[in-house]
Structure formats: structure tokens, C-alpha cells
């Protein structure tokens, strides 16, 4: 069809045919946008999607475009802006918490209330899902078809350019070279095939890439890296406590070298994605062994149920683009989505959306000639290419910080200090990590925010200095981190306030309704029943207990029965004047133990253990400590107690209980 020319631009006339090769996200977003916008402009185009995974009879998408299926907040926003609502059979889970796995401890980041993050399956795999679910690709395809696109099932294997510029697209059903060739004459071709070429193999030896060359003579495909994707079937009762969470890691071990990992629970499956030298070098058939080794990593063990068996339901090794293509536009043809560029390691679906939208808008508003495509479409791809350079640095720094025990501890501590002291909107470090994990900002902005003086200050003061102090405290009390995992125990400021409000009636009943001089709170998630948790807690004061055994502090039950009102525990310190006793004064079965300090400098204070159910078989164990210093009966005493209060090392309590809570969790969960 002759194209309309306007100021040397080639505009698609009404009735023109647009062939979209590949009905993955980029192809479908492109078709959808093109059709919707052309209708808005009272224009009429024929848009034909050609997809090799489509069933020739039903049009259903078979197999899967291997991917973790994470739908980032920015993609969720973009879908909403286009009035696209993801149905509940596509969404497997709404992600509420993102956990960054660190050598020291994991950093849990809550998805901000105004951001939405989901996980979906991309295709029909893994098969035998118990619930009726649809893949994201199938949903996007139906969306494009509903907008008026046509679907042809077949694999495109050849292109021929006609003298008038039109392009003949050859496709074969089932992709077999001997199958009958079908031809479609197109006025514009969008190449949305993703990257499925073999890494390392010269691209002229790769069939589809060779087929593109008559259309895009200067085309150089993106470099790709192998990944390993596994869908692991896990009994839903084991996985349920993890639903709504996404776990990202950046390191492996001496045996398995991983640069990036993600685990996303989806009902009865856990989607695992691994990238790294071990995967780069893996041979066919190594996948299962790599996944099994991955599950044995200590930081993975910290997350997964301890007695964890992992039947892999499906496994694949798709490529992920790590650079952008070159020469991806020419007259009446352009590569889009992964085949042009993808956001590095994160949020490729969103970059597929961005490139598809830019291409559709260019085709409609500027034209399909090479110049129009260069002016309208290329800047979007080039911007992503430039941004990925910062992405590389961001991921490198991230990997170094989280993969090194010392640095990871400093970073964790800095986040914790910020969390305790700053309101949510001022948590600069948490925001940086959230943006890296979720893809919620450009890599460039993330990179510069990492070096903002305030961020550096918080890492040095709230991270490095506090860590040095804590390490010294651990040395004094002889606390060793061996034989059990390290888990987050610090509370967000707002959680502290909420919990305090919750227990206020108890505090008031014991005369601590005001804010006491010293007030601390810690919490840890324990995957167990209240009975088991309280049974272990009842050993507080037993001579052979395996938690809370700081050097120099002899903690003994001196009267009563465990977890029974009247039970007394003595804290004997090297300085007799600092020793004291606590007595269990109130028990709410299955929920709460309240100890009162009977004597010593913290007399009248409270030590409270409380359990809250967070998920089935998972409880949040919180510890609250509050007391007032003695006021003194005369000026000298008052002065002395003031000095004591100023120098009182409240942080020592944090360090000891942080250590003890991790021990407790380990003891309970390994029972
Ligand atoms: C392991 C892994 C995990 C990922 N996780 C995420 C994530 O959690 N979130 C996220 O946003 N992004 C993720 N991505 C990136 C994301 O998958 C891609 O960016 C996105 O799929 C790109 O879409 P696309 O349409 O360009 O390509 P694809 O999704 O690859 O779709 C291309 C389509 O073209 C078809 N096709 C190919 N060749 C032909 C042919 N010759 N003829 C006809 N049809 C053809 C294919 O069958 C396919 O349906 C991940 C990628 C990988 C590799």
C-alpha cells in the first residue's frame, strides 16, 4: 500500500497493515496502544500479531516466556493510566514486603501504601496449578484482540522487502521449516520477539536474527545473559506465611556463584530466578542441582521453612538482555521491547511497555520512515540504554554492600537507626533500597541518591559507629553469632507507637502509663505455635537454657514455676548494687507474660513478652522493657542517679536481646 507522505514523512494511511512479530508484552502493548490511539484519531489500521506460541486452533498461548512475573509499581501505574485492570485470576499475589537478603541480616522493606506491586505467572506453566489462573501474556493478548488486533499462530522466519517499501512477512504454523509458508504483506513491521538467541553464538548464525538483516542491515542484537528460572512446588500451608513477600538476593557462596536471585511465592509455587557465573557456565541438566544448592544457602534457609524439600515443577533458562541493540530502526520497521532494550535486571515488563508506547505514538504521530522513528522512538530506547549504565553501578554497589558481612551489617544498622528515628517519608536509605528492589525510579537518580551527603552521613553515624559500639558490646558479653540465623528484630517507629498503644492499659495498670526513662522494644517473627514459643520462653532463667546467656550476668529462676504467676528470675551482675529480680505478675495464656522488676535500679519496671498472630502458624514475638531510674532522696542521690541515667548503656540491652531473640527463633523453629 502506498504510504501517505507529509513533509517527507511516511504516514500509514487508513487500512494499512501493521505486522507485529511476537505477542509477548511488548507486542501486545504496542498493538493495544496503536489501535486505541488510532481510534481516538479516527483512523483505521489493521494490526496483526504473529505468535509462535499461539495455538493455531484456539489462539491460547502455550508454554511460557520464562520470567519472574513481578509487576512493578510503575507498570501497575501505567496499566491503571491506560484503564487496564489486572483481573484476580492473573494476579497471584499482591506484594506487601520486599526483603533484601544481606550477609548480615535481611532488610525488610514494606511496599509503601500508595504503591502496588504484584506477581503473576507469565504463561501456562507451571501446569497443574490448583487454582484457575491465567498467565499475564494471555491476558495482554486478549486485551489487544479486544481492541481489534488479529492473531496469526505461527513462527516468523523470513522477511522480504518489496520495491515499494512494503514488507512480506513469512510465517509457518508450528514453526517447522517444512510446514507450509504463509505470507502477510505489511506496511510496517514491529519486531517484538524478545531475546531468544543463544548467548555467545555469532548472531549471523542464528536463524531469526539472520532473517531480520534484510530489514535492518545494521542490526546488532542486545547481549544476553543466561538465567535460571524454576517454579518450585511447595505445600501451600508452608508457603502461606511467605505470601505477599518478594525476596531479592545479590550473592551466593563459594560453591554457587550468584549475582542476583529472586524468590516470589505464588500460592503453591515459589518462583526462583538466579543469575550469576554458576548459571552462565551451567550445562544442560545442571538446573536442578543449582536450585538445590541455592536452597542450602544460609541466607535462603533463613527464609524458607527449615525442613524444606523442593520438587521443581518446571525449569527454564531464558536469556535476559544486558545491553541495548544497535541499528534497531529502519524504514517501516523497528525492534521493540527486549529486542531493542530492557531495563537492566529489573522491570523489563515496564520497559517493554515504555518502548511499545513510544513506538506506537511515533507511528501514529510522526510516521514510519526511518527519520521519524529515529526522532520519535529512538530517544526512548537510548534513554533506557544510558540509564542502564548507572544500573550496572547500582547493582555492583548493592552486591558489594549486601554480600560482605561487615558492610551488610553497617547498612542494616543504618537502616534500623533510620527506621527507629525517622518518620516513614524521611527514610532516605530505605527509599533508595526500595527503588532498587522495585524499579520505582531511574537508575541514574538512584545512583546519585546513594552518594547524597545525608545518605553518607546516615551510613557513617547510624550505621558504622553504632555497629562498632554493638560489636564491642557483644565482645564484652561474650555473644557469638554461631549456629543460628540472624533475623531482623528492630521495630519501625510507627510500629513501636502502635504496639505501645496496644499495651498501654497494662503499662498503666503497673504505673508506667507515662513515657518511662528507659523504654525499648524488639520483635521477631517466629514460625510456630504460641504453645511452643511460650514453652521455650518459659525456660528464661533455667540453668540449661540456650538463649539469653550474656557473660557477667547470671540469670536464674529462683522461685516458682515457668510461666506461672509468682515465678521469680534473678539477674546477678558483678556489681551487687546493679543486680535485681523480676517476678511474673500476669499471664494471659497463649499471648502475654508480664514480669515486674522487684528491686534494684529498675525497680517498678516491666518486662513484657507478647505474641501476635501475623500469619497462620507464624507469630510476632515482641519484647517491651520500660523502667524509671530512682529519683533519689536528697540532692547528692538525685545527682548520682542523673549521672547514672546519662551513662546507662541502654543499647547493651538491645544488643543482648537482639542476639537472644535470634537464638530463640532458631530453637523454636528447629524443634
Ligand atoms: C529470568 C527472567 C526474569 C524476569 N523477571 C521479570 C520480572 O519479574 N518483572 C519484569 O518486569 N520483567 C522481568 N523480566 C524481563 C521480562 O521478562 C522481559 O523484559 C519481557 O518479557 C520483554 O517482553 P517482550 O515482549 O519484549 O519479549 P518476550 O516476553 O520474550 O516475548 C516475545 C514473544 O515473541 C514470540 N516470538 C519470538 N520469536 C518469534 C517468531 N520468530 N515468530 C513469532 N513469534 C515469536 C515469543 O514466543 C514471545 O511470546 C525477566 C526476564 C527474565 C529472563
Q: Hey, whose CA ends up nearest to atom 19 of ligand 1?
A: 348
**Contact status, residue 477 vs residue 553, Cβ threshold 8 Å:** yes
Cα distance between residue 156 and residue 181, in whole Å? 9
Q: Which of 64, 222, 260, 352 to mutate to test the pocket of ligand 1 (most atoms within 8 A of CB)?
A: 352
Q: Hey, whose CA ends up nearest to atom 13 of ligand 1?
A: 348
Nearest atom of ligand 1 to the alpha carbon of 264: 8
Strands in 391-543 per DSSP E: 518-526
The answer to whether the CB of 579 is under 6 A from ligand 1 is no
Q: What is the H or E stretch that residue 93 is in?
A: strand 91-94
The answer to whether the CB of 348 is under 6 A from ligand 1 is yes
Distance of CA 116 to CAs 67, 95, 97, 244, Å?
19, 8, 11, 11
Cα distance between residue 369 and residue 371, in whole Å? 6
The answer to whether the CB of 155 is under 6 A from ligand 1 is yes
The answer to whether the CB of 594 is under 6 A from ligand 1 is no
Q: Report pLDDT for 665.
A: 94
Cα distance between residue 270 and residue 243, in whole Å? 10
What is the ipTM score, two decimals?
Answer: 0.99
- Kindly report the length of the chain: 671
**Contact status, residue 262 vs residue 101, Cβ threshold 8 Å:** no
Contacts of 145 (CB under 8 A, 6+ apart): 59, 151
Nearest atom of ligand 1 to the alpha carbon of 338: 26
Nearest atom of ligand 1 to the alpha carbon of 336: 26
**Contact status, residue 434 vs residue 482, Cβ threshold 8 Å:** no
3-state secondary structure of 151: strand
How far does the centroid of ligand 1 lie from the alpha carbon of residue 24, in Å? 6
Nearest atom of ligand 1 to the alpha carbon of 347: 11
Alpha carbon 305 to chain centroid, angstroms: 19
Q: Which of 19, 20, 22, 74 to mutate to test the pocket of ligand 1 (most atoms within 8 A of CB)?
A: 22
Q: In what order do the strands lie in the sheet with 269-275?
A: 107-110, 97-100, 245-249, 260-266, 269-275, 228-233, 312-316
Contacts of 280 (CB under 8 A, 6+ apart): 225, 226
How far does the centroid of ligand 1 lie from the alpha carbon of residue 25, in Å? 7
Distance of CA 286 to CAs 255, 317, 555, Å?
14, 11, 51
How far does the centroid of ligand 1 lie from the alpha carbon of residue 352, in Å? 9
Q: Report pLDDT for 55.
A: 85
The answer to whether the CB of 318 is under 6 A from ligand 1 is yes
- Determine how many CB atoms are found less than 10 A away from the CB of residue 370: 16
Question: What are the residue ranges in the chain where pLDDT is below 50?
Answer: 306
Q: Which of 63, 65, 151 to mutate to test the pocket of ligand 1 (most atoms within 8 A of CB)?
A: 65
Q: Report pLDDT for 485.
A: 86
Pairing label, strands 167-172, 181-186: antiparallel
- Determine how many CB atoms are found less than 10 A away from the CB of residue 613: 13
Residue 378 corresponds to which cell in the numbers above?
Answer: 529512538
For 150, list phi and psi in degrees, rounded to 5: -105, 155
Q: Report pLDDT for 314.
A: 87
The answer to whether the CB of 194 is under 6 A from ligand 1 is yes
**Contact status, residue 225 vs residue 319, Cβ threshold 8 Å:** yes
Q: Report pLDDT for 203.
A: 66
All structural domains of the chain, each given as residue ranges with its CATH number in brackets, are: 4-68+128-222+325-387 (3.50.50.60), 228-317 (no CATH), 493-669 (3.30.530.20)
Q: Report pLDDT for 202.
A: 65
**Contact status, residue 48 vs residue 39, Cβ threshold 8 Å:** no
The answer to whether the CB of 364 is under 6 A from ligand 1 is no
Amino acid at each position: 500500500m502506498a504510504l501517505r507522505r507529509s513533509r517527507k514523512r511516511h504516514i500509514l494511511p487508513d487500512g494499512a497493515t501493521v505486522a507485529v512479530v511476537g505477542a509477548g508484552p511488548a507486542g501486545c502493548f504496542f498493538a493495544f496502544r496503536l489501535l486505541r490511539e488510532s481510534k481516538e484519531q479516527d483512523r483505521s489500521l489493521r494490526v496483526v500479531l504473529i505468535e509462535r506460541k499461539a495455538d493455531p486452533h484456539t489462539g491460547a498461548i502455550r508454554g511460557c516466556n520464562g520470567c519472574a512475573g513481578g509487576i512493578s509499581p510503575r507498570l501497575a501505574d501505567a496499566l491503571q493510566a491506560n484503564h487496564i485492570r489486572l483481573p484476580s485470576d492473573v494476579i497471584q499475589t499482591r506484594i506487601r514486603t520486599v526483603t533484601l537478603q544481606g550477609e548480615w541480616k535481611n532488610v525488610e522493606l514494606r511496599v509503601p501504601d500508595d504503591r502496588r506491586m504484584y506477581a503473576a505467572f507469565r504463561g501456562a506453566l507451571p501446569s497443574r496449578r490448583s487454582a484457575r489462573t491465567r498467565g499475564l501474556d494471555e491476558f495482554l493478548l486478549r486485551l489487544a484482540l479486544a481492541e481489534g488486533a488479529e492473531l496469526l499462530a505461527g513462527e516468523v522466519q523470513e522477511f522480504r522487502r518489496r520495491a515499494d517499501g512494503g514488507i512480506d512477512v513469512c510465517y509457518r504454523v508450528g514453526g517447522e521449516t517444512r510446514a507450509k509458508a504463509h505470507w502477510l504483506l505489511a506496511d510496517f513491521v514491529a519486531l517484538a520477539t524478545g531475546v531468544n538467541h543463544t548467548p555467545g553464538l555469532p548472531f549471523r548464525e542464528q536463524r531469526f536474527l539472520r532473517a531480520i538483516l534484510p530489514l535492518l542491515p545494521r542490526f546488532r542484537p542486545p547481549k544476553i545473559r543466561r538465567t535460571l528460572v524454576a517454579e518450585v512446588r511447595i505445600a501451600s500451608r508452608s508457603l502461606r506465611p511467605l505470601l505477599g513477600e518478594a525476596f531479592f538476593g545479590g550473592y551466593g557462596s563459594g560453591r554457587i556463584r550468584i549475582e542476583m536471585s529472586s524468590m516470589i511465592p505464588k500460592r503453591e509455587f515459589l518462583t526462583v530466578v538466579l543469575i550469576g557465573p554458576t548459571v552462565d557456565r551451567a550445562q544442560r541438566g545442571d538446573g536442578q542441582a543449582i536450585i538445590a544448592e541455592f536452597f542450602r544457602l544460609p541466607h535462603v534457609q533463613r527464609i524458607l521453612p527449615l525442613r524444606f524439600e523442593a520438587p521443581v515443577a518446571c525449569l527454564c533458562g531464558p536469556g535476559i538482555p544486558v545491553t541495548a541493540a544497535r541499528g534497531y530502526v529502519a524504514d517501516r520497521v523497528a525492534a521493540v521491547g527486549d529486542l531493542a532494550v530492557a531495563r537492566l535486571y529489573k522491570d523489563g515488563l515496564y520497559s517493554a511497555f515504555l518502548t511499545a508506547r513510544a513506538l506506537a505514538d511515533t507511528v501514529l504521530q510522526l510516521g514510519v520512515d526511518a527519520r521519524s522513528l529515529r526522532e520519535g522512538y529512538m530517544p526512548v530506547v537510548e534513554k533506557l540504554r544510558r540509564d542502564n549504565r548507572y544500573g550496572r553501578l547500582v547493582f555492583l554497589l548493592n552486591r558489594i554492600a549486601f554480600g560482605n558481612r561487615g558492610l551488610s551489617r553497617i547498612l542494616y544498622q543504618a537502616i534500623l537507626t533510620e527506621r527507629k528515628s525517622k518518620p516513614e517519608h524521611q527514610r532516605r536509605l530505605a527509599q533508595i533500597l526500595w527503588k532498587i528492589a522495585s524499579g520505582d525510579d531511574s537508575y541514574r537518580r538512584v545512583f546519585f541518591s546513594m552518594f547524597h551527603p545525608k545518605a553518607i552521613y546516615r551510613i557513617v553515624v547510624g550505621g558504622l559507629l553504632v555497629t562498632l559500639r554493638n560489636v564491642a558490646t557483644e565482645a564484652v558479653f561474650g555473644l557469638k553469632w554461631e549456629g543460628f540465623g540472624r533475623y531482623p528484630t528492630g521495630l519501625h517507629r510507627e510500629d513501636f507507637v502502635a504496639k505501645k498503644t496496644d499495651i498501654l492499659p497494662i503499662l498503666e495498670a503497673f504505673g508506667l502509663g507515662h513515657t518511662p526513662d528507659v523504654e525499648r522494644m524488639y520483635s521477631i517473627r517466629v514460625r510456630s505455635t504460641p504453645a511452643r514459643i511460650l514453652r521455650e520462653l518459659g525456660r528464661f532463667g533455667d540453668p540449661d537454657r540456650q538463649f539469653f546467656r550474656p557473660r557477667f550476668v547470671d540469670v536464674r529462676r529462683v522461685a516458682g514455676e515457668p510461666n506461672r504467676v509468682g515465678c521469680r528470675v534473678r539477674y546477678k551482675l558483678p556489681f551487687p548494687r546493679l543486680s535485681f529480680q523480676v517476678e511474673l505478675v500476669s499471664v494471659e495464656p497463649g499471648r502475654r507474660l508480664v514480669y515486674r522488676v522487684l528491686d534494684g535500679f529498675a525497680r517498678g519496671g516491666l518486662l513484657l513478652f507478647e505474641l501476635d498472630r501475623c500469619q497462620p502458624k507464624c507469630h510476632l514475638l515482641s519484647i517491651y522493657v520500660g523502667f524509671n531510674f530512682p529519683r533519689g532522696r536528697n540532692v547528692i542521690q538525685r545527682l548520682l542517679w542523673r549521672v547514672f541515667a546519662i551513662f546507662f548503656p541502654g543499647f547493651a540491652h538491645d544488643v543482648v536481646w537482639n542476639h537472644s531473640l535470634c537464638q530463640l527463633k532458631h530453637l523454636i523453629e528447629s524443634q
